[in-house]
Structure 1
């Protein structure tokens, strides 16, 4: 410190006052890793940023570790047949380096969840599609005497075992694209349905159990199992697929559940495993498929529901969670895509920004316990593949010269998997962006098992955006480049512990003297807002009915991400009957988040009244109470 002070004097710099220097030294610091759409920074660690005691005037992400949501199982992709072919074809040294980059939590991104095809998918390197019990046309094998996973012993299983050595916390899910052809109405792996026969349902259940047992013996225990990939896809494009209506999925699960519980108690069943909404190309389908499954008696065997990204949006996950809060949500497939003539720069930018919004943050803020992409590795042509997607991208790409390039999905998954450990829990954090793009800052936060926090932030806008992060009574400010994705981490520290508890106001309603969207001020979603839709003037107000008397010591009035839309002057009033009001506090607004500390009080009604003027509209994205 003495050397620094002397150098500052020599260079004519302003020295930090001793008290402030001590405070900075003792203050908790957040480490920062950033990826930018132009590849200038690729999970690059920047200098840490200290938490300070000065509130910010910027949009403020308030992180509250005491409000917890779903637990995390992991983040990753799939070592498909094609991915295994690509990885196995690398030189031993390049392959070893690539596997470390993918799975090692210390030197790589620590991929912690793999979703493995049971047999062939569209990403199959072989000329012929396969299952583990193929017999000549016209023959059957109800005894499963021809069952064998020998195909996978060549490339897939060695890579899976290596992945588990590199990351012992790795979770493995398995999903079939098709039952063996002899079980189907078409006699083909491509299209068709299971034969509607109890003996077939029983045989298919035994087939899946034999797969789980065989993989376990091979050193790759299966943690999750779904019974059909994309069961509403009636017309797969020259690759294995099965149209499996709800009734057939239920029949399979009823046959599978008791067998699996006996043979492999660790393996849990996930249902559906398809898009957030029914894709138009899938025709007239059962739009409430996952709801029907969870309403059925077969739900007793089901841990939850798996979703894909190819149609709809992540809010479907929250809708299902609200209907069945005791069943989990897992997000299990999403592939990046490239146009035939798109330059690599465009592919990287578009994939990074879309996946940041929808997969990294969109799925996890909507209750997903996993975020899983599709192929973990492909070649420079997007293959090899046998039917299906000709434009898909992977986490890494094997180039013709034998080297491997890390692509956008490596970094989107990495900003989660490297910093959010299995067993972490999502915690509350205000977020201003939307999956549909509104140009704001969006984020998601997690508390790790060791007590540390990981906050993942995405700047949706093409221009740099400044924001603040608040934990307890400490705050720091940061500016992210346009389109950038960042992860901030900090250890548990007593300086960041809050002395107040959040007061839930789930039943609250709101009205306003003008403007629209009053209900959005009490929806616990900072990406929505009430707005005056007029210049600020004294007397404008927003009133909240808490639904009953609530006790509180702090009221936070959050104007969200629209800079300047905070009340220039304000009065906070309370009432027990909505008619007689008492003033709790008055003040002058200075930024997007106004925190009002009052003597502990209780009331049913709150009113925030403007007392100043401004050309800006007045917006309130969230009102939060603490005690």
Structure 2
């Protein structure tokens, strides 16, 4: 039997691909990350295809196509933008944005999320229409996105200059306090009398953001609507409330204004698929809902497929998860992120995949309430502006750098607890396969496509991205 060419997942010279007389020309590019950090998204020696398909090969089938990708990225929170604008020099800022949003060797982030008003990762708590306690402003006479113009919108605009394909999503953490049952940004729900003003508030936010940075592609009407935080802005909205707001107010408001911004429901955890299903069961709301957004903090990623299977015309987006000091960075956070978010969410139909903070400082902030030990994709030293790349940077980079906007996920075999994969076909005809070894032993595996194959070997908790061209 012909020996397989195996490229070992380590950094020594002994791990080079095996050379064989008569082998086909090298055709597969490889990038590797190992949990010992000997290789971090590091290019490896290219591999050669062999004719045939071993019986145990992981099969990639470009003829079976699934969702079209919007992209991968992270949220430009107030904290992230403030650090980038206020704690970096112009040269540092330009270099970081090119590294995160630019093409290879950048990460090519093509999707981001901005907050509408404050979140816990803000330096103060505010909305775009704050009035004195006890007062109201149903005509939105005091509406202003001035807080976003300080750092967030300039950062988003600069990121879009680096990557003109950058898709932007926005999400409110709370309506203005005067619209709510709590008369505060903290806790409470939306008063029924405020449904129409809240829709206008969101419409004006979309229009003013778009005038500043270009199109706003997606909007969720409420971040985590089944949670009322104790010490930062939040707002509880039931499925029935969201359906009424979208169906009777927000959807028609966007239509009258000619807005192409697509409305996403839920924007919360995997553990309550009944919530978005409840909204989508309402015909008036469903006609205005383009998709469902998900977070990672409870439940299982398979919930995305559960809802999508019942509503295949609605897009799936994964829009928030944070790494943090509650788990060991290497290999725990690295392994969980790549398995669950990069491979798991896309195999469960996600068109876009977002981490939470793009950047935080060495003290996991700035923040006001909420999470005190969350990690950003990168850390920015608040004194020097120097950048540290966290495990999430490499996990996302294994997809974002290679999967182009408009790529389609294609069929690939995945072996739970072993070699887990996801594959894509790019618009330029190239194929991308991401493979992760979820087992406890070194694993050798062939990969076959279109009557040819290559072989590789991965250490436990190591990942490799492979890219090759269509053989035709």
Q: How far is the alpha carbon of 1:261 from its aligned partner?
A: 2.4
Residue in structure 1 matched with residue 44 of structure 2 by the alignment: 46
**Partner Cα separation in structure 2 for residue 307 and residue 215 of structure 1:** 23
SS of residue paired to 2:199: helix
- Shift of the 246–486 alpha-carbon distance from structure 1 to 2, 3 Å rule, reads same
Structure 1: gaps of 5 or more residues: 1-13, 279-286, 495-627
**Partner Cα separation in structure 2 for residue 15 and residue 179 of structure 1:** 63
CA contact (8 A) 1:213 1:263 kept: no
Residue in structure 2 matched with residue 331 of structure 1 by the alignment: 318
**Partner Cα separation in structure 2 for residue 348 and residue 98 of structure 1:** 23
Give the alignment of 1:575-590 within 5 angstroms.
Answer: none
**Partner Cα separation in structure 1 for residue 337 and residue 304 of structure 2:** 16
Give the alignment of 1:46-195 within 5 angstroms.
Answer: 46-56=44-54, 59-88=56-85, 89-124=87-122, 126=123, 128-195=124-191
Structure 1 range deviating more: 400-409 or 153-162:
400-409
**Partner Cα separation in structure 2 for residue 167 and residue 349 of structure 1:** 31
Residue in structure 1 matched with residue 3 of structure 2 by the alignment: none
CA contact (8 A) 1:83 1:377 kept: yes
If asked which structure has higher relative contact order (CA below 8 Å, sep 6+), I would say 2
Residue in structure 2 matched with residue 411 of structure 1 by the alignment: 394
RMSD of aligned Cα (Å) = 1.6
Residue in structure 1 matched with residue 290 of structure 2 by the alignment: 303
Give the alignment of 1:345-364 within 5 angstroms.
Answer: 346-364=328-346
Residue in structure 2 matched with residue 618 of structure 1 by the alignment: none
SS of residue paired to 1:362: helix
Q: How far is the alpha carbon of 1:167 from its aligned partner?
A: 0.5
**Partner Cα separation in structure 1 for residue 258 and residue 112 of structure 2:** 18
**Partner Cα separation in structure 2 for residue 347 and residue 318 of structure 1:** 28
CA contact (8 A) 1:239 1:386 kept: yes
**Partner Cα separation in structure 1 for residue 209 and residue 175 of structure 2:** 17
**Partner Cα separation in structure 2 for residue 142 and residue 173 of structure 1:** 25
**Partner Cα separation in structure 2 for residue 484 and residue 16 of structure 1:** 26
**Partner Cα separation in structure 2 for residue 154 and residue 102 of structure 1:** 21
Q: 1:367 aligns with which of 344, 349, 360?
A: 349
- Shift of the 16–349 alpha-carbon distance from structure 1 to 2, 3 Å rule, reads closer
**Partner Cα separation in structure 2 for residue 93 and residue 349 of structure 1:** 32
SS of residue paired to 2:375: coil
SS of residue paired to 2:80: helix
Q: How far is the alpha carbon of 1:50 from its aligned partner?
A: 1.1
SS of residue paired to 1:463: coil
Output the TM-score relative to the length of structure 1.
0.70
Residue in structure 2 matched with residue 319 of structure 1 by the alignment: 306
CA contact (8 A) 1:100 1:107 kept: no
CA contact (8 A) 1:160 1:220 kept: no
Q: How far is the alpha carbon of 1:106 from its aligned partner?
A: 2.8
Residue in structure 2 matched with residue 598 of structure 1 by the alignment: none
Residue in structure 2 matched with residue 233 of structure 1 by the alignment: 227
**Partner Cα separation in structure 2 for residue 15 and residue 465 of structure 1:** 20
Structure 2: gaps of 5 or more residues: 1-17
**1:489 correspondence with 2:472:** no
SS of residue paired to 2:213: coil
**Partner Cα separation in structure 2 for residue 386 and residue 442 of structure 1:** 38
CA contact (8 A) 2:360 2:366 kept: yes
CA contact (8 A) 2:419 2:435 kept: yes
Residue in structure 1 matched with residue 243 of structure 2 by the alignment: 250
Task: Number of aligned residue pairs: give it.
Answer: 451
Give the alignment of 1:152-551 within 5 angstroms.
Answer: 152-197=148-193, 200-234=194-228, 236-254=229-247, 255-278=249-272, 288-297=274-283, 298-339=285-326, 346-399=328-381, 400-433=383-416, 438=417, 440-494=418-472
CA contact (8 A) 1:446 1:454 kept: yes
SS of residue paired to 1:218: helix
**Partner Cα separation in structure 1 for residue 178 and residue 240 of structure 2:** 20
**Partner Cα separation in structure 1 for residue 158 and residue 111 of structure 2:** 14
Q: How far is the alpha carbon of 1:74 from its aligned partner?
A: 0.8
* 1:393-437 deviation digits (Å, cap 9, x = unpaired): 11100135431011111111111111111111110001002xxxx
- Shift of the 239–106 alpha-carbon distance from structure 1 to 2, 3 Å rule, reads same
**Partner Cα separation in structure 1 for residue 442 and residue 165 of structure 2:** 36
**Partner Cα separation in structure 2 for residue 164 and residue 402 of structure 1:** 22
CA contact (8 A) 2:88 2:384 kept: no
Q: How far is the alpha carbon of 1:462 from its aligned partner?
A: 4.1
Q: Which has the larger radius of gyration?
A: 1
Residue in structure 2 matched with residue 625 of structure 1 by the alignment: none
Q: How far is the alpha carbon of 1:52 from its aligned partner?
A: 0.3
**Partner Cα separation in structure 1 for residue 46 and residue 259 of structure 2:** 44
Q: How far is the alpha carbon of 1:39 from its aligned partner?
A: 1.6
**Partner Cα separation in structure 1 for residue 346 and residue 20 of structure 2:** 41
CA contact (8 A) 1:446 1:455 kept: yes
